């Protein structure tokens, strides 16, 4: 999708208004996002003595009837908002019970929803405790749903920009009831009426399970710069790391050159492509520019964990803790630090703390699952991974973790299902297909295993084939009693050793297999060549030496 280049003056004014409108409705994350986007734009230059756009404390509605209602309800609305800001959500909602403007109705229902979420968290059991289940419900959802449906029935076709916020809330409560299709339709209506509510775009993104879902809704989205940003964000969330995605990001960065959000998207694209050095460099620049920014710092800590940069991870943990100890991102960073030190109990404690702060924080569920795997607590790991995919079914790491956990329990049909889900999200990740191949092997299905292992050899970056995969394909052909084909794959494994990989455990095993194969076929000289090579630098030395002795005796008998 080509990036539309909007008029900078109009975009500047639209983002200013968005900050105020989102703040008025207590959607503070959306307001923060719009404000950061606004300040990441180049400074405006007046055109032909045209004054720059001014900020208004309370942007009124463009619809006369709504503007009159808002003006009459302003004192009551301000009282409600002040209660909301000090976290008295029930009072905030009650004050606006009889108000009729769309803005007041939204805040009334949104405060009721947040109060229900707060009570749900308070009533929930300890994280992964005996009574802690994902089924704990927000009891206000049904009441909010009924009220919204009555409002929409009353309005009929007279829905306008002011009602976009009610449609956004309607989508949220539909999602709570697992009514995903209607929720998606509601979010699409909301962003079409008012495109600058980033929270609505995020919720719309949460309804997308794969690239097909994204492509299906593209024609329904507004022709607006926000659509381009949403498509980029969705591609990143769906692990699309192709050149067109990077090109689209580059186009957006010409409009928002200093945007930390867009820089983070670039870093995450590199992270998904396993280009950790590039991802680390971008996160370094973000932290240097804004050391108190905690957004996505958990992903940065994952990168440092994989790269085993313990001193830097410790520094980032200290920096985050000094900024805000009680942010889920901080807890995940500290948890990763302890995990890298192999202090898994402490790591779990911090991941639990992150989830106490926000039960919908995906990284903490997935990382806690990894820790339980390290602690050999397979059942707890499975529950943590399940909760992760409940939060975000696009998290391939949680699906993959479920597969590994069920493999440990030798429940191979379950493991295979989860590996297939992971592979559908990461079709070009060899690790997913290798796991499927191993699972098919344990299920004694060598033909399917061969297909999975061959799929693992397909790489969009044209990297050299993995010798371990070549070896496994050869062993699967051996199980099918196709010795010649097995020998061919073993020879490919050795060829790869010469050209790229060098000596590995897989190539040693392939050489040993070929030595035995030549021995069975009475090609004594070739068998001796393979066995002698193993004796010099292989990992099957004792078995190779025994084979050499046997070969010598046979070759001596042949000379007599």
CB of 458 closer than 8 Å to CB of 428: yes
For the chain, report the end-to-end CA distance as a whole number of angstroms: 78
Distance CA 465, CA 501 (A): 9
| Residue 456 near residue 440 (C-beta atoms within 8 A) | no
In DSSP notation, 342-410 reads: T-HHHHHHHHHHHHHH-TT-HHHHHHHHHHHHHTT-HHHHHHHHHHHHHH-TT-HHHHHHHHHHHHHTT
- Cβ-Cβ contacts under 8 Å for 291 (sequence gap 6 or more): 319, 323
What's the helix, strand, coil split of the chain in %, to 5? Answer: 75, 0, 25
Cα–Cα distance between 545 and 531 in angstroms, integer? Answer: 7
Query: Which residues make Cβ contacts (< 8 Å) with residue 3, sequence separation at least 6?
Result: 225, 228, 248, 251, 252, 255
CA–CA distance, 515 with 205 (Å, rounded to integer): 55
What pLDDT score does 366 carry? 95
Count helices and strands (H / E) in the chain: 29, 0
- CATH superfamily placement of domain 1-41+65-207: Tetratricopeptide repeat domain (1.25.40.10)
pLDDT digit string, tens, across residues 410-430: 999 999 999 999 999 998 889
**What confidence category does residue 496 fall into, taking pLDDT thresholds of 50, 70 and 90?**
confident
What are the tokens at 349? 């404690």
Tokens coding 500:
């790229």
CB atoms within 10 A of CB 430: 20
Mean pLDDT of all residues in 6-13:
88
Q: Strand, helix or coil at 428?
A: coil
What integer pLDDT is reported at residue 56 of this predicted model?
46
**How would DSSP label each residue in 118-150?**
HHHHHHSPSTT-TT--TT---TTHHHHHHHHHH
CA distances 121 to 14, 153, 349, 364, Å, are 36, 32, 18, 16
CA neighbours closer than 13 Å in the CB half-sphere of residue 550: 14
Angle (nearest 5°) at CA 266 between 264 and 268: 70
pLDDT tens, 325-356?
A: 999 999 999 999 999 999 999 999 999 999 99
Q: Mind spelling out the 3-state secondary structure of 169-228?
A: HHHHHHHHCCCHHHHHHHHHHHHHHCCCCHHHHHHHHHCCCCHHHHHHHHHHCCCCHHHH
Of 30, 37, 35, the C-alpha closest to 256 is 37
Distance of alpha carbon 148 from the chain centroid: 32
pLDDT band at 50 (very low <50, low <70, confident <90, very high): low
What DSSP string runs through 47-115? STTPPPPPP-SSPPPSSHHHHHHHHHHHHHHHHHHHHHHTT-HHHHHHHTTT--SHHHHHHHHHHHHHH
Say how far apart CA 382 and CA 399 lie, in whole Å. 10
pLDDT digits (tens, 9 = 90+) for 372-396: 999 999 999 999 999 999 989 999 9
Whether the pLDDT of residue 295 is over 90: the answer is yes
- CA distance linking residue 469 with residue 489, whole number of Å: 10
pLDDT tens-digit map of 140-166: 999 999 999 999 999 888 888 999 999
Quick: pLDDT tens for 95-150.
999 999 999 999 999 999 999 999 988 887 767 765 565 557 889 999 999 999 99
Using alpha carbons only, what angle is made at residue 397 by residues 391 and 398, rounded to the nearest 5 degrees? Answer: 45
- The Cβ-side half-sphere exposure at 68, using a 13 Å CA radius, reads 2
pLDDT digits (tens, 9 = 90+) for 171-226: 999 999 999 999 999 999 999 999 999 999 999 999 998 899 999 999 999 999 99
Helices 297-306 and 362-374 pack at an angle, to 10 degrees, of: 30
Q: Is the pLDDT of residue 371 over 80?
A: yes
C-alpha to C-alpha distance for 209 and 281, rounded to whole angstroms: 30
Question: Does pLDDT of 80 surpass 60?
Answer: yes
Quickly state the pLDDT bin for 461 (edges 50, 70, 90). low
- Tell me 291's DSSP state: T
CB 8 within 8 A of CB 42: yes
How far apart CA 356 and CA 299 sit, in angstroms, is 19
The answer to whether 433 touches 456, Cβ cutoff 8 Å, is yes
| Domain chopping of the chain, boundaries | 1-41+65-207, 479-559
Average pLDDT over the chain, rounded to whole? 88
Nearest to 306 by CA among 272, 329, 282, 256: 272
Predicted pLDDT of residue 552: 62
pLDDT in tens, 505-546: 888 888 888 888 887 787 777 777 877 777 766 566 666 566
Contact 519, 493 (CB under 8 A): no
């Amino acid at each position: 999708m080509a990036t539309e280049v909007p008029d900078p003056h109009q975009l500047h004014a639209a983002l200013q208004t968005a900050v105020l409108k989102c703040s008025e409705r207590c959607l503070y994350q959306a307001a923060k996002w719009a404000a950061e986007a606004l300040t990441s734009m180049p400074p405006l230059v007046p055109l032909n003595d045209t004054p720059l756009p001014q900020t208004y404390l309370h942007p009124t509605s463009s619809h006369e009837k709504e503007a009159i209602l808002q003006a009459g309800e302003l004192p009551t609305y301000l009282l409600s908002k002040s209660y909301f800001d000090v976290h008295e959500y029930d009072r905030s909602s009650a004050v606006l019970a009889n108000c009729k403007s769309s803005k007041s109705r939204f805040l009334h229902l949104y405060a009721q929803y947040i109060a229900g979420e707060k009570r749900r968290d308070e009533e929930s059991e300890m994280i992964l405790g005996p009574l802690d289940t994902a089924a704990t419900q927000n009891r206000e959802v049904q009441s909010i749903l009924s009220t919204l449906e009555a409002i929409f029935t009353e309005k009929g076709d007279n829905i306008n920009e002011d009602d976009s916020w009610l449609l956004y809330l309607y989508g949220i409560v539909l999602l709570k009831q697992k009514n995903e299709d209607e929720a998606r339709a509601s979010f699409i209506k909301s962003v079409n009426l008012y495109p600058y509510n980033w929270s609505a775009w995020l919720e719309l993104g949460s309804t997308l399970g794969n690239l097909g879902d994204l492509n299906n809704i593209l024609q329904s989205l507004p022709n607006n710069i926000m659509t381009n940003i949403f498509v980029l964000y969705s591609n990143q969330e769906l692990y699309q790391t192709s050149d067109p995605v990077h090109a689209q990001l580059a186009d957006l960065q010409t409009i928002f050159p200093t945007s930390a959000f867009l820089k983070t998207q670039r870093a995450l694209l590199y992270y998904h492509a396993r280009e950790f050095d590039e991802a680390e460099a971008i996160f370094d620049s973000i932290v240097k520019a804004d050391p108190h920014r905690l957004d996505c710092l958990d992903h940065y800590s994952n990168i440092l964990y994989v790269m085993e940069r313990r001193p830097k991870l410790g520094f980032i943990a200290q920096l985050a803790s000094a900024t805000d100890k009680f942010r889920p991102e901080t807890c995940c960073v500290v948890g990763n630090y302890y995990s890298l030190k192999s202090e898994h109990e402490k790591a779990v404690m911090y991941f639990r703390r992150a989830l106490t702060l926000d039960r919908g924080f995906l990284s903490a569920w997935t990382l806690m699952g990894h820790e339980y795997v390290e602690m050999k607590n397979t059942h707890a790991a499975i529950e943590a991974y399940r909760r992760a995919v409940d939060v975000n079914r696009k998290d391939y790491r949680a699906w993959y973790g479920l597969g590994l956990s069920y493999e440990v329990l030798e429940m191979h049909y379950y493991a295979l299902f989860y590996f297939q889900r992971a592979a559908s999200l990461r079709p070009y990740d060899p690790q997913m297909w290798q796991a499927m191949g191993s699972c098919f092997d344990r299920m004694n299905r060598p033909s399917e295993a061969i297909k999975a292992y061959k799929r693992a050899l397909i790489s969009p970056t044209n990297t050299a084939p993995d010798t371990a995969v070549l070896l496994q394909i050869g062993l699967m052909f051996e199980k099918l009693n196709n010795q010649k084909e097995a020998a061919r794959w073993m020879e490919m494994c050795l060829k790869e050793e010469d050209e790229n990989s060098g000596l590995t455990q897989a190539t040693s095993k392939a050489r040993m297999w070929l030595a035995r194969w030549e021995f069975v076929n009475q090609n004594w000289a070739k068998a001796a060549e393979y066995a002698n090579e193993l004796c010099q630098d292989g990992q099957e030395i004792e078995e190779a030496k025994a084979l050499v002795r046997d070969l010598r005796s046979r070759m001596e008998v042949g000379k007599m």
